[in-house]
Amino acid sequence: MATDSWAQAVDEQEAAAESVNDKAAQSLLNKLIRNNLVNTTNQVEVLQKDPNSPLYSVKSFEELRLKPQLLQGVYAMGFNRPSKIQETALPMMLAEPPQNLIAQSQSGTGKTAAFVLAMLSHVDPNNKYPQCLCVSPTYELALQTGKVIEQMGKYYPEVKLVYAIRGNKLQRGMKLQEQIVIGTPGTMLDWCSKFKFIDPKKIKVFVLDEADVMIATQGHQDQSIRIQRMLPKNCQMLLFSATFEETVWSFAQRIVPDPNIIKLKREEETLDTIKQYFVLCNSKEEKFQALCNIYGAITIAQAMIFCHTRRTAGWLAGELSREGHQVALLSGEMQVEQRAAVIERFRDGKEKVLVTTNVCARGIDVEQVSVVINFDLPVDKDGNPDNETYLHRIGRTGRFGKRGLAINMVDSKMSMNILNRIQDHFNKKIERLDTDDLDEIE
Ligand code: ADP
């Protein structure tokens, strides 16, 4: 095999490996880079267990009659009023008697803050034993939720928290004194059954976070169900998910009996406010040259450039740096925290160009970027156009979206075919751009 095609094959394998098990990393990344709520214009959909009972929703945190220490914690976090999903979810979760809840909304809509507040409200700090269990898909996600508990519970120091995660080894025979236990399903299950550090019969609130990520990991689903089976009948069960495919839904129903259900639709993305172009080239060198011409012709405040493989991304970042651009590179071999740091620097404008692999940046929102360049078009593992990724990368949510510019690089018959299929799929014209004559794009 020629060196180049061999390297290409290795790159393909890497790309495939990156996309597996990426859900948890993606979710963590979004948490690390997000420091406020996403804007939503959609209304929540509510399905009550008992449709005749009145539906409460609150417009302020005061209405919830929280403990003063918790209200103080909420305000100290800079929250002025409940988010859209919190308006309905919080009164349900804090009602007496406790109600079960399944809630779905995209990441960044305030789910974590909501169930953390519910857990903190329901524990009795005088009782020195676990009363709330919260399971997360990974160690890192558990730590993130733990941080929120610590922030919100800052003025309520009597409530203690412990992590049920691998590596946290306790002495046999001991009983936990902390009121809240947060961890991964395997360790949580061991602590409840094998080691009996936790008495599951005393649990009042059970939270299952990121259900969609959870079920993507082999074994987590069964472990979660086994934990749930050990809990008392009157334990409040809460389940959260960013997406809601059929598999998530059937899992949710096994975990949460008689639920209230809250759903908040994702903001629709649209290509209406985007000018889409393509550039015809013959090689990656030509694509790079076209890119330079574009940079020479128009003022680009910040751009994101997507490549199919790490190798191309690394090469392109090097070439652009040599041209004098301040370039940030996002690549699959980086730790999630490193990736978050790169994105934050870019978001703060410290670098003007972000070069990334297709899979690495899936699901990342960098809202202010007005120019997106597909150095390679997004394709799925079978080489078919990945329309969803294309839309997410380029599309804007209607009401908040600024106008944007998308440039697609085409370098073969195959990629031309992909471009045509993307164009047909969205039924939106992608215009040809002549990079030797760039008057038209500004
Ligand atoms: P999710 O769990 O749905 O991803 P989070 O609870 O993590 O959402 O909230 C997303 C971001 O918004 C976090 O930075 C969080 O601190 C912030 N946030 C949550 N609720 C509110 C609120 N009511 N007001 C302002 N910011 C909030």
Give me 269's structure tokens: 């993305």
| 76 Cα to the center of ligand 1, angstroms | 13
pLDDT value for 19: 44
Contact 277, 408 (CB under 8 A): yes
- pLDDT class of 335 with cuts at 50, 70, 90: confident
CA atoms within 13 A on the CB side of 180: 29
Q: Of all protein residues, whose CA lies closest to atom 5 belonging to ligand 1?
A: 110
Contact 85, 238 (CB under 8 A): no
CA–CA separation, 378 and 395 (whole Å): 14
- Mean pLDDT (whole number) for 317-326: 94
pLDDT in tens, 98-132: 899 999 998 899 999 999 999 999 999 999 999 99
Q: Of all protein residues, whose CA lies closest to atom 9 belonging to ligand 1?
A: 110
Q: Distance of alpha carbon 435 from its chain centroid, rounded?
A: 36
56-81 exposure pattern, b = at least 16 Cβ within 10 A, e = fewer = ebbeebeebebeebbbebbeeeebee
Give me 218's structure tokens: 């082999």
CA–CA separation, 13 and 427 (whole Å): 32
Closest CA to 371 of 385, 355, 348, 357: 355
pLDDT value for 4: 54
The owner of tokens 């025979």 is: 173
> For the chain, how long is the longest CA-to-CA vector?
76
| 27 Cα to the center of ligand 1, angstroms | 14
Q: Which residues are within 8 A (CB) of 198 and not within 5 positions of it... i.e. 6 or more apart?
A: 130, 133, 176, 181, 188, 191, 192
pLDDT in tens, 72-81: 999 999 999 9
Give me 385's structure tokens: 């156009």
Q: Give the chain's mean pLDDT.
A: 89
Q: Of all protein residues, whose CA lies closest to atom 25 belonging to ligand 1?
A: 79
- pLDDT class of 12 with cuts at 50, 70, 90: low
- Is the distance from the beta carbon of residue 234 to the nearest atom of ligand 1 less than 6 Å? no
CA–CA separation, 404 and 369 (whole Å): 8
Closest CA to 144 of 179, 120, 116: 116
pLDDT in tens, 405-424: 899 999 999 999 999 999 99
| 36 Cα to the center of ligand 1, angstroms | 6
Alpha helices in 42-83 (DSSP H): 68-76
Helices 22-33 and 139-152, axial angle in degrees (round to 10): 30
CA–CA separation, 181 and 31 (whole Å): 20
pLDDT in tens, 145-192: 999 999 999 999 999 999 999 989 999 999 999 999 999 999 999 999
Ligand 1 pocket mutation, candidates 71, 83, 104, criterion most atoms within 8 A of CB: 83
- Is the distance from the beta carbon of residue 86 to the nearest atom of ligand 1 less than 6 Å? yes
Ligand 1 pocket mutation, candidates 29, 35, 37, 264, criterion most atoms within 8 A of CB: 37
CA–CA separation, 350 and 65 (whole Å): 43
**For residue 391, what is the enclosing H or E element?**
helix 387-394
- Is the distance from the beta carbon of residue 27 to the nearest atom of ligand 1 less than 6 Å? no
Atom number, ligand 1, closest to the C-alpha of residue 106: 3
CA–CA separation, 255 and 227 (whole Å): 10
Percent of the chain with pLDDT over 70: 90
pLDDT value for 40: 82
Rg of the chain taking only CA atoms, in angstroms = 24
Q: Of all protein residues, whose CA lies closest to atom 10 belonging to ligand 1?
A: 108
pLDDT of residue 294 exceeding 50, the answer is yes
- Is the distance from the beta carbon of residue 41 to the nearest atom of ligand 1 less than 6 Å? no
pLDDT of residue 25 exceeding 90, the answer is no
Indicate the pTM of the whole model.
0.83
CA–CA separation, 357 and 307 (whole Å): 5
Helices 22-33 and 336-347, axial angle in degrees (round to 10): 40
CA–CA separation, 330 and 98 (whole Å): 45
- Is the distance from the beta carbon of residue 181 to the nearest atom of ligand 1 less than 6 Å? no
